Structure 1
Amino acid sequence: MADVPANEQQDENEGRLRRRSVLKYGGTGALAAGLAGCQTAENPVPGSNLRVEQENAGTEVDEGDGDAPLSGETVKIGVLAPMNLPLGVSMWKAAQMRRDIINDNGGILGAQVEVALGNTEVSPGTAQSEHQRLTVQEGCDFTVGIFLGSALLQTMPSIANQEAIHLTTGSADPRAGQLVSKSDPFGDTDEQSSYERFKYHFRVGPIHLLDLADAMLEFIENNKDEYGWEKAALLTENLGEFTPYAERLSERLSEVIDVPVEQRPGGVSDWSPLYNEIEDTGCDLAIIGMALGGTTAVNQWAQQQRDFEFGGIHVPAQAYSYWESTGGNVEHVFTMNAMTPQTSNTPQTQPFVEDYIERFDEVPIYTGPLTYDAMSVIKQGIEDTVDGEGMETLPDSDTIIPYLEEGTFTGGTVLPEAQFTPPDAKYAHEPQWTSMAETGVPVFQQWQMDPEVREDYGTMHSVAPSQNKTSDKTVPEWL
C-alpha cells in the first residue's frame, strides 16, 4: 500500500514446494488493516470469559528457577510499527501483552523479555532507520512488525547487514520471500548468495499477495453458484503494493467467472461512471482491492444503492471502528481478514481477543495477533535451539535459523500450528499455506447487523471458510 495521506490516517502455487507434516498457516489481511480511527471495546465479543492460557504445557524446565539454562539473560525484541495507524498500535500493544505473559511464566528458559518500539510512521525510510537504531543502538536480538511492502523491501538490506532475525507481521509483499529463496538468484551478489544475505527474514503473516489472490479465486469458485454470481468486475486500486495481487487475478479470474470490467482506478472521487459501467455490463459483484480510496467507494456504493455486491480486499473495513466511520454504509461489504472479534480460529483466538480488550479497552486489528504469534515463534525457536544444541547461553541468529526453518509452532491465535516454507521454495521463510479449505484462513469477513452481538452497530462476521464461519452471507435489501 502506498503511504497514507494525512486525512486518511486516522479513518481508516509458489512457496509450497514440499509438503511437511503440517502445512498450516496463514494470517491474512491483505496489505494492511485498520486505517479507521480509534477503536472501542463496547461489547464486541460474545462468548466465554476465558483468559488467555498463560503457556503451553510441555517444557521440562522450571523457568522460574535460577538454574534455568538462560537465567539472568535478557531477550530484547524490537517492534517496528507505524504508530500513526491503529494497526501499528495493535502491533505494539500485542507485543507488550505477550512480553508480560512470557515474563509472568518464568521468561524464555529463565531469560526475561524486553520490547522496544520503533515508530516507522508509515515511511519506508523511517522503517529502515528505526530497524538500524533498534538493532545497533538499542541492542535488540530480534525484530518484529513492518507495514508496507515498500518499507519491508527498503529494510531488507539492514536486516541482512545486522544479521538479526526479523519476523514480519504486517507486509504481504512476496518479494521478501523471493530474496530469501535458494532457488531464485533475485538478490545474489558476486560475493554472497541471496539466501545467505537475507536468510534472517521470516514472515509470520499475512500470507503473501499471490496466495491472497489464490484465496480470492478459491472463494469465488466455491461460492459463485450458491451466491448467484455469473459476472464480476475486477477493481484493484492503482497502488504498487497491490500489483502482484492484481496481476494474479487479471491472469486467472476469467477462468473462474466472466469478467467484463477490469480496471485499476486511482484517485477517484466520483465512482458513479465506473459503477454505471459495472451495472450496464450486468455484473453481479465488484471484486475489489482498495485502501486509500476505499471509504469513498463504499459510501457511494451504499448511498447510490448500486445493483451489485461489493467485496474482496478492503483495508479500512478490517478495523472494528469502520462501521461508525461510514455511518453503517459498510454493511454487507466483505473483506479478507486474519480473524475477527467473532471467530475462533484456534482455541487461543477468543481468549486472546478478550484479554487484549480487558488490558487495552479496544479490539485488536490483525497485526496484533500476528505480532503476538511472532513473539511466540521467537520463544519456541530459542527453546528448541537451546535444547537441540545443549546450550546455556542465548544462541545467535545463525544457530536459531535452522530450528525456525524446520520447526512446527503451536499455540497460535490465527492457526494452531505454523511452519515456514523451506529455503528452496520460490518464496522462502513464508507462512506455509495451501488453501482456505485446508488451513481455514484467510477468513472472509462481512459487516452485518446482529442484535445478538450488539444493538445498532455492525458485527464483523465471517462467512467463509466453513471452519471459521460465524454467519451466512447477507445481501443489501435493495438488490
Structure 2
Amino acid sequence: MTERNGSDNGKGVPERTDRGNDLKRRHYLTAATGAASLSVAGCLETVGSISGGSGGEGPITVGVLAPNPDSDFIGRSIVRGAEIGVKHANENGGIGGRDVELVVGDTNSSPLEGRRQYQRLVLEEGADVTVGVFTSEVLVNIIDDIAEQETIHLTAGAATTKVSQLVKEEYDKYKYHFRVGPNNDYDLGRNQIDFVDAMAPKAGWESIAVIAEDYEWTKKPWEVYQDQLPETDLDVALERRYPPATDDFSSLYNDVQESGADLAFISTAHTGTAALLDWSYPNRPEQPPQPQPFAFAGIHVPMQLPAYYDLVDGACRFAVTQTSATPTSEITSKTQPFVQDYQAQFQGSNPVYTGYHAYDAVDLFAHAVEETGTLDSDELIAFLEDVSFDGSAGTVAFYVKDHDYPHDLTYNVKDNVYFQWQENDDGEGVQEIVWPEKHATTEYVTPPWL
C-alpha cells in the first residue's frame, strides 16, 4: 500500500515531505488548522502521467469534508461513499497511473470548524480536490477559501444556492465550485411541488399544511412553495416554519388538525425525529396514544437512514420522504454496484443520499482528470461545464455559467425519488419507492387510521 512519507507530527498525521512544491503554490490563509485525518491509498505503482497539479509523481489527494463522520450517519455516508470512489479508482489503475488517497476533515457542522478543516486539507494535506460538506452554513463559510485556493470543490450534501449565485455574479472568482448533489434548494422546492401535485390525487390529499424547519436551506424552498403551490389544485390550509429547537409538535399538530389538512407537508434535514414521533405514535403521557389524523410526507432527511425503522420502533411506517436513491433502487446502472460494494465493505450497512453523491463526486473527478490528462483547474472546469456523466444517483450535469445557478446539478424530476416506509411479511421496514412511476417499487399506502 502507498503510505505517506516522513515522520509523525505528533498528531497522528505523517509529515508530508513529498509536498514541498505543492505547498508553494497554495495561498496561505490565517485560520488555525489541526486534527488528524484518515488516509486511504492505493497499492499501484505511481507513474506520474497527469500534468499540472501538485504532487509531481506522488499520489492524487482527495479531501473530504463531513460532519462528525464517526457518529453522524450523514457524515459517515459522505466519507464512506468517497472511500468507495477512491477504492474503485485505485482498482482501475489509479488516476492517470497515479495512486489516489483520501484525507478527511470533520466539520462538526460548524462554519468555523469547517473553514479550519478546509484549510488543513488543502494547505497541509495538499488536496487536489475537495468533496462533501453537508451544512449550507459551512459551505457558505468556505466558498471564499475555495476561490482563493483555486482548487475545485464538488459539493455532496449542502443545498444552498448562495454559492451558485456567487458563481454567477463573480464567475472568474468562484467558478471552482460545482454541486454534484443533491439538487440545490430551489430545485428541491420544485421537486416537492412536482411530487405533491402528482401524488395528491392518488393519495387523496386535497389540503396540506406546509411545515419547514427554520434553517438556511429551507428559505429558498419556502419561496418556491409560496410561488408555485397556488398553481396546483391543492388547498394550503396552514403554513409554518418552526424553530430548530422544537422538540414537541403537539401544539403545531393541533393547529394542523384544526386546519383540516390531509397532509403534513414537511421539509426537515437537521431536525425531524420528534416531528415524526409526535405524528405517528406520541410518546408523551399527556398526549392521547393515537396517531395524528393526517398523512406525513415531504423532505425528512433522518428518515432516509436505512436503519431508521428500527431506531424509531416502526413509527415511520406510512411516512414518505424524498431521497436520491434507496438500497433497492436502480436509478442508473451504477446504483446497485455501488450499494453492493458499500454493503460488502461496511458490514452490511447502506448509504444515505450523501453517500451516493460523494461517490459520484470522486468518480466524476477521476473521469474528468483521465479525460483531460491534467489537474489544472481551468481545464477541468471547462470539461465539467460540458459533462454528462452517469452517476449512482442519476445523471450528473451542471447548469451553464449564464444560468441563474451556474455549476449546480441540473434538475431532472425522474432522478429524484420519494419512498414510503412500509413493512414486509417478515415485519421488517422497507423503503418502497412510490414516486415517480419510472422508479416506483410499489403503490402508496394510506395510513390505516385515516
1:2-13 alignment runs, 5 A limit: none
Partner residue of 1:275? 253
Equivalent residue for 1:289, pick from 263, 267, 278: 267
Shift of residue 473, structure 1, vs aligned partner: 0.7
- 1:259 aligned residue: 236
Alignment check: 8 A CA contact 1:99 1:113 kept = yes
For residues 105 and 289 of structure 1, the distance between their equivalents in structure 2, rounded to whole angstroms, comes to: 40
Which residue identity is paired with 2:252?
L
CA drift at 1:243: 1.2
User: Would the aligned equivalents of 2:48 and 2:58 in 1 still touch at CA under 8 Å?
Assistant: no
**Partner SS, residue 322 of structure 2:** strand
Number of the residue aligned with 2:61: 76
Q: How large is the Cα RMSD of the aligned pairs?
A: 1.9
Please state if 1:299 is matched with 2:277.
Answer: yes
Residue in 1 aligned with 2:36? none
User: Residue 66 of structure 1: CA displacement?
Assistant: 5.7
Per the alignment, residue 167 of structure 2 pairs with 180
Match of 1:399 in 2: 379
What amino acid is the match of 2:329? T
C-alpha distance in structure 2 between counterparts of 1:443 and 1:89, whole Å = 22
CA distance in 2, matches of 1:139, 1:463: 44
Q: Which amino acid aligns with 1:241?
A: W
Amino acid at match of 2:311: S
**Residue type matched to 2:277 in 1?**
N
State the partner residue of 1:56: none
Contact between 1:203 and 1:431, CA under 8 Å: does it hold in 2?
A: yes
8 Å contact kept, 2:128–2:375: no
| CA distance in 2 between partners of 1:287 and 1:80 (Å) | 31
Aligned partners of 1:447 and 1:102: how far apart in 2? 34
Contact 2:418 2:436 in 1 (8 A): yes
Match of 1:378 among 362, 365, 377: 365
The one of 313, 316, 320 aligned to 2:299: 313
Contact 1:64 1:105 in 2 (8 A): no
Q: What does the per-residue CA deviation read over 1:151-190, in whole Å, with 9 as the maximum and x for residues that have no partner?
A: 0000001101111100000101111111111xxx3xxxxx
Measured after TM superposition, the shift of residue 69 of structure 1 is: 5.8
The separation in 2 between residues aligned to 1:370 and 1:269, in whole angstroms, is: 30
What amino acid is the match of 2:369? I
Go from structure 1 to structure 2 and tell me whether the alpha carbon gap of 1:270 and 1:135 turns closer, same or farther (over 3 Å shift).
Answer: closer
Map residues 416-431 of structure 1 onto 2, 5 A cutoff: 417-431=395-409
Structure 1's 281 and 348: CA in aligned 2 closer, same or farther, altered over 3 A?
same
Deviation at 1:429?
0.5
Measure, in 1, the Cα distance between the counterparts of 2:323 and 2:409: 15
Contact 1:236 1:288 in 2 (8 A): yes
Secondary structure in structure 2 of the residue aligned to 1:428:
coil
Task: Note closer, same or farther for the CA distance 1:205–1:331 as it changes in structure 2 (3 Å cut).
Answer: same
Work out whether 1:413 is the aligned partner of 2:387: no
Return the alpha-carbon distance in structure 2 between the equivalents of residues 408 and 293 of structure 1. 34
1:471/1:105 Cα in 2 relative to 1: closer, same or farther (>3 Å)? same
Q: Aligned runs of 1:100-249 on 2, under 5 Å?
A: 100-181=87-168, 185=169, 194-249=170-225
Q: Give the TM-score, by structure 2 length.
A: 0.83
**Letter of the structure 1 residue corresponding to residue 124 of structure 2:** Q
Counterpart AA for 2:442: S
Equivalent position of 2:340 in the other structure: 354
Q: Provide, for residues 327-364 of structure 1, a one-character-per-residue CA deviation record: whole Å limited to 9, x for no partner.
A: 11110111110001121101111121111011111111
> Do residues 343 (structure 1) and 343 (structure 2) align?
no
Match of 1:447 among 421, 426, 445: 421
Distance 1:101 1:356 in 2: 11
Counterparts of 2:240 and 2:437 in 1: how far apart (Å)?
31
**Would the alpha carbon gap of residues 292 and 384 (structure 1) be closer, same or farther in structure 2, given more than 3 Å must change?**
closer
Conserved 8 A contact 2:399-2:409: yes
* SS of alignment partner, residue 204 of structure 1: strand
Contact 1:73 1:110 in 2 (8 A): no
Give the drift of 1:204.
0.2
Cα distance in 2 for partners of 1:137, 1:291 equals 32
Q: CA separation in 1, counterparts of 2:278 and 2:334?
A: 38
CA distance in 2, matches of 1:238, 1:254: 22
Counterpart of 1:457, as a letter, is: E
Alignment-derived partner of residue 50 in structure 1 = none
Q: Which residue identity lines up with residue 253 of structure 1 in the other structure?
A: L
| Cα distance in 2 between the residues matched to 1:220 and 1:350 | 27
Q: CA distance change for structure 1 residues 292 and 169 in 2, over 3 Å: closer, same or farther?
A: closer
CA deviation profile, 1:47-72 (whole Å, cap 9, x unmatched): xxxxxxxxxxxxxxxx9896966794
- Residue 462 of structure 1: which of 433, 439, 448 is its match? 433
Does the 8 Å contact 1:72/1:110 carry over to 2?
A: no
What amino acid maps onto 1:359 in structure 2? Q
Q: Percent identity?
A: 35
Partner SS state of residue 347, structure 1 = coil
1:199 aligned partner, one-letter code = K
Q: Give the whole-Å Cα distance in 2 for the aligned partners of 1:348 and 1:160.
A: 32
TM-score normalised over the length of structure 1? 0.78
> Taking CA–CA contacts closer than 8 Å with sequence separation of 6 or more, which of the two structures ends up with the larger relative contact order?
1
3-state SS of paired residue (1:446): strand
- Matches of 1:395 and 1:219, distance apart in 2: 40
- The Cα of 1:291 is off from its aligned counterpart by 3.6
1:49-68 aligned at under 5 Å gives the runs: none
Q: CA deviation at 1:292?
A: 4.5
